[in-house]
Amino acid sequence: MEAVSYRVTGMTCGGCARAVTKAVNAAAPAAKIEIDLDDGIVHVAGGPSEAIVQIAIEKAGFGYAGPA
């Protein structure tokens, strides 16, 4: 399963990373999510569309900055 990476702005701490993970998991329960906090990137495997990931990130209160 290949991951797709997306840039997230405003993600500065472990709590932020958990919030993004929780939001993406809620929108796409089968997805596997990994966060690269240092680079502000979320890696998502399991097939959710970019639009689903974007909406989840924004609903969690963070900025979506496109594919990484």
CA-based R_g, the chain, Å: 10
Single pTM value for the model: 0.93
User: What is the reported pLDDT for 18?
Assistant: 97
**pLDDT at 42 (0 to 100):** 97
User: What phi and psi values does residue 64 have, to the nearest 5 degrees?
Assistant: -100, 125
What is the reported pLDDT for 67?
A: 97
Whether residue 67 contacts residue 59, with contact meaning beta carbons closer than 8 Å, is answered with: no
What is the Cα–Cα distance from 54 to 58, expressed in whole angstroms? 6
Q: In the CATH scheme, what architecture does the domain 11-62 have?
A: 2-Layer Sandwich (3.30)
**Domain extent listing, the chain:** 11-62
- The closest alpha carbon to 21, from 12, 64, 31, 47, belongs to 31
Residue 47 is predicted with a pLDDT of: 79
Q: What residue ranges of the chain have pLDDT lower than 50?
A: none
